Amino acid sequence: MREGTAPIIRREDYQAPAYWIRTVDLSFDLDPAKTLVINKMTIERNAELPVQSLRLDGEDLNLTRVMVNGEPATFRVENDQLVLDALPDGPFTLEVRNTIAPEKNLQLSGLYTSGGGFFTQCEAQGFRRISYFLDRPDVMAVYTVTLRADAEKYPVLLGNGNLVAQGELDGGRHFAKWHDPFPKPSYLFALVAAKLVSREQKIVSRSGKEHLLQVYVRAGDLDKTEHAMNSLIASVVWDEARFGLPLDLERFMIVAVSDFNMGAMENKGLNIFNTKFVLASPATATDADFANIESVVAHEYFHNWTGNRVTCRDWFQLSLKEGLTVYRDQEFSQDMAGEASARAVKRIEDVRQLRQFQFPEDAGPMAHPVRPEQYQAIDNFYTATVYEKGAEVVRMMATLVGRRGFAKGMTLYFQRHDGQAVTCDDFAQAIADANPGSELAERLDAFKRWYSQAGTPQVTARGAYDAAARTYTLELAQTGTPNPGQPHRLPSVIPFAMGLLASDDGSALPLQLADEPGDTGTHRVLVLAEAEQRFVFVNVDREPVPSLLRGYSAPVHLDAALADTALLTLLQHDSDAFNRWEAGQQLALNRLLAALRGGSTQLDAAFIDAMRGVLRHPTLDAALKELVLTLPSETVVAEELGAEVDPARIHALREGFRLQLAQALRDDWVWAFETQAPIGGYSPDARAAGQRALVNLALSMLVLDATASGDTVWPGRAYQRFKDATSMSERFGALTALVNAHAELAAPALERFHALFADEALVIDKWFALQAGAPEPLGEGAGAVFERVRTLAQHPDFTLRNPNRARSLLMPLTLMNPAAFHRADAAGYVFWADKVVEVDAFNPQLASRLARSLDRWRLLAEPYRSAAREAIARVAARAELSDDTREIVTRSLQ
């Protein structure tokens, strides 16, 4: 592992490679302790650049021989790089031999072992841990790979592309040879050698070509692969139908592995997945798990075009593939959800994620533009900004050019760039060029500031109705903080979807701007491109309530200062389901913030009645109801507050509100629990999942109310439901209700749950996560949840070595449970620092993710702030720390 202070890599320093690697012939003699890698490359000098040394990246490699054109060559190793001079002028072959020790590779980057098999992870810079190479995405080569391994221990040998030969070898070994016809960067290389079984499905694509789809898992897990396979088939169909992008391979494989740093990886033709995003059965996976699998399978599959066929020139362009592919998987999930209201539910969930994770990032020490300007460890830039905000940027482009315009833009993008490694500029240019005259094309340079400016812009909206003139004037203004080192921030191009509702009956009003001949319907997208702009609507007969930023048409903070009456109108009547939810959240947020600032801690009748109205609504989606009736998270409240955050106080107030909602709506919760469940056997579809979510919320509220009042009926019913449940969603919902209310029956239920699922690693992860994420009790029992986490860290099932298990305990506590984590006695921070240091010694990527939990320490009130700072400083002071973690803690203290 490399230590010390890594150099800063800057986007402006990009240079084309001095050499091109055209083909790679790799052979592996796989052995956990010592694997031999023979790497034969054909290489050509980049004729456009002056003659330079060839510098190949390497890390933790044991170099044994170097040959040029078949002859031993002189070389040197300099800062991990293999350097060759005086190379032939024309194309030449370079053969490098080295050995590696997969079983010692605990950072899970490069070639490593897991559950007795071999797996690889090469993005972003793992290939250099396998062999010497130009390990950068703009060097694309055609790979032929031969794997040799013990036939009994590793019966399945997989590589990218097509299987071209296989057979037996002496000594109980066997081999397989794979060839991938598509040139690819090294980060998309993969191999698997393990004892696995597969679910297979043949499909015929539109062109009549047959393809083999396979999902590989451990033998006992085959019964949990149906949903992943269905999701893959749906993804193939969708990409061809929506974007005309077909599957370009004869064979497409997904392999599940239980030790994995991230969610999944889009290696060409051989996606490697965290088991969490493959395995699901109704008995072991919740609705959320099913939905996540659908979207991650789709995401990785969509990368085959957006990422693999067209890849990134350099890692600063990461959002080129990630933002676009997240946008595509979000659209896919919306299309799978079906009706408009179910689509809105998916949109709400995505925006919730954005606010929970990306907003804090964009306001904290790790804030960076969607296309970062510099990094030390690239692994630190697989962020919510690059992914989720990047997806919002693509979504805004799609909004500005329309659905068909966007599809045309995609077509042009592939026409221009198929087979190339390109930039975010290239993408935006293609979308704009395919849509001449569009708002995007007209304002492309200004629009692209979304790629270069960090921070969440603030939009202030103020409206005024002039009854006599029958006009409604909407004034929009945008502000934001400039990037570090930049004097000022330039205005963003903000698509601003909106409508007007009549304040008396909530009906939609026709929209006509002053210079327009007639109305344009009741919904439109304004474009805010200046610091301030004014829009005057004419022929407005009735006092309107504005419905602003519909569908969350841009990733901004909106300050509309709407009165409660206006918000209540939107909550009841807006045709935009997203804004109905938003109005409900705003009503709740206003009350939470007012209470924090010394106002009433009692919910008013108007709010409670509105919530009852939503819960009892005859036609609203159950999923939407559940979202509206869930108060904004403590993190969102803290970010809104913006300073002097006392997590314990936010928690106490929010819990107080939750209890009031539980009590005031008791009969309504009973009604929901008893009447809103889906009918029939388990199906993970959006509608049924939403119904179960609402029923689970109702049960949580009923158990909360009952434990507060000492009643035992609802905890008893929850326990019964927990025991009798026919699906994990139901079972886990009932268990959550008991645990979160600190009911006496929580302990026996947890014990029973553990015993039932002792052999299901992913379920045991849930068991840890539930306990670590439970709300701290108020008053006397406060601190119990944190103590429980400390005890669980000693549990025989707990290990930091497996990333899923490590995250299952540490992330819910440090990222999702502010009141348990931030303690006046600093014990949470001490625990955090210990774990960061412990994990950093063997898995820097995992450690640096965990290190980010204290990003927002500056928001905290004393004594938290000083204590948090001290804990970060303690980590930063360590002499031995990975580049990854050092970059995070150093930035955090700056």
Nearer to Zn ion, 259 or 322 (CB): 322
User: Which of ligand PHE, Zn ion, none sits in contact with 439, Cβ below 5 to 8 A by type?
Assistant: none
Structure tokens at 114: 């897991």
> Pattern of binders to Zn ion over 320-359, x per CB under 5 A?
--x--x----------------------------------
Active site residue 71: no
Nearer to ligand PHE, 262 or 739 (CB): 262
- Shortest distance in whole angstroms from residue 299 CB to ligand PHE: 6
Q: Per rule CB under 6 A, is residue 265 in the interface with ligand PHE? A: yes
- Shortest distance in whole angstroms from residue 48 CB to ligand PHE: 30
Please, what is the angle between helix 666-675 and helix 605-616, to 10°?
10
- SS3 (DSSP) at 763: helix
User: Which of Zn ion, ligand PHE, none sits in contact with 224, Cβ below 5 to 8 A by type?
Assistant: none
> Pattern of binders to ligand PHE over 277-316, x per CB under 6 A?
----------------------xx----------------
Q: Per rule CB under 6 A, is residue 121 in the interface with ligand PHE? A: yes
Structure tokens at 392: 């919002």
Q: Per rule CB under 6 A, is residue 793 in the interface with ligand PHE? A: no
Rg (Cα) of the chain, in Å, rounded?
A: 28
- Phi (first) and psi of residue 581, to 5 degrees: -60, -45
| CA atoms within 13 Å, Cβ hemisphere of 831 | 23
Nearer to ligand PHE, 370 or 763 (CB): 370
Q: Per rule CB under 6 A, is residue 322 in the interface with ligand PHE? A: yes
Give, rounded to a whole angstrom, the gap between the first and last alpha carbons of the chain. 25
- Selecting among 59, 95, 266, 300, the annotated active-site residue is 300
Residues 6+ positions from 208 with CB-CB distance below 8 Å: none
Residues 6+ positions from 404 with CB-CB distance below 8 Å: none
DSSP codes, 853-870: GGTTGGGBPTTHHHHHHH
Structure tokens at 300: 């990785």
- Phi (first) and psi of residue 762, to 5 degrees: -70, -30
User: Which of Zn ion, ligand PHE, none sits in contact with 382, Cβ below 5 to 8 A by type?
Assistant: ligand PHE
Single out the segment in contact with ligand PHE by CB under 6 A; choices: 141-149, 155-163, 222-230, 257-265: 257-265
Single out the segment in contact with ligand PHE by CB under 6 A; choices: 117-125, 147-155, 165-173, 868-876: 117-125
On whether the CB atoms of residues 690 and 623 are closer than 8 A, the answer is yes
Nearer to ligand PHE, 255 or 833 (CB): 255
Q: Per rule CB under 6 A, is residue 123 in the interface with ligand PHE? A: yes
Nearer to Zn ion, 322 or 576 (CB): 322
Residues 6+ positions from 550 with CB-CB distance below 8 Å: 497, 498, 499, 523, 576, 578, 579
> Pattern of binders to Zn ion over 271-310, x per CB under 5 A?
----------------------------------------
Closest residue by Cα to residue 120 from 132, 108, 133, 135? 108
| CA atoms within 13 Å, Cβ hemisphere of 849 | 19
Residues 6+ positions from 788 with CB-CB distance below 8 Å: 771, 772, 774
Closest residue by Cα to residue 583 from 558, 600, 605, 619? 558
User: Which of Zn ion, ligand PHE, none sits in contact with 262, Cβ below 5 to 8 A by type?
Assistant: ligand PHE
Nearer to ligand PHE, 266 or 634 (CB): 266
Q: Per rule CB under 6 A, is residue 266 in the interface with ligand PHE? A: yes
Single out the segment in contact with Zn ion by CB under 5 A; choices: 48-56, 162-170, 314-322, 471-479: 314-322
On whether the CB atoms of residues 662 and 705 are closer than 8 A, the answer is yes
Q: Per rule CB under 6 A, is residue 840 in the interface with ligand PHE? A: no
d(CA 481, CA 449): 13
Q: Per rule CB under 6 A, is residue 262 in the interface with ligand PHE? A: yes
Q: For ligand PHE, which residue has the nearest CB?
A: 262
- SS3 (DSSP) at 293: helix
On whether the CB atoms of residues 154 and 117 are closer than 8 A, the answer is yes
On whether the CB atoms of residues 662 and 669 are closer than 8 A, the answer is yes
Single out the segment in contact with ligand PHE by CB under 6 A; choices: 259-267, 425-433, 470-478, 745-753: 259-267
Residue of 382, 414, 671, 842 interacting with ligand PHE (CB under 6 A): 382
CA 73 and chain centroid, separation: 46
Single out the segment in contact with Zn ion by CB under 5 A; choices: 166-174, 319-327, 415-423, 566-574: 319-327
Nearer to Zn ion, 324 or 549 (CB): 324
Q: How many residues bind ligand PHE (CB under 6 A)?
A: 11
d(CA 371, CA 706): 50
- Shortest distance in whole angstroms from residue 531 CB to Zn ion: 35
Nearer to Zn ion, 239 or 582 (CB): 239
User: Which of Zn ion, ligand PHE, none sits in contact with 265, Cβ below 5 to 8 A by type?
Assistant: ligand PHE
On whether the CB atoms of residues 218 and 279 are closer than 8 A, the answer is no
- Shortest distance in whole angstroms from residue 123 CB to ligand PHE: 4
Closest residue by Cα to residue 702 from 740, 730, 748? 740
Closest residue by Cα to residue 128 from 54, 64, 186? 186
Nearer to Zn ion, 293 or 592 (CB): 293
Q: Which residues are catalytic, by number? A: 300
- Positions touching Zn ion (CB under 5 A) are 322, 325
- Positions touching ligand PHE (CB under 6 A) are 121, 123-124, 262, 264-266, 299-300, 322, 382
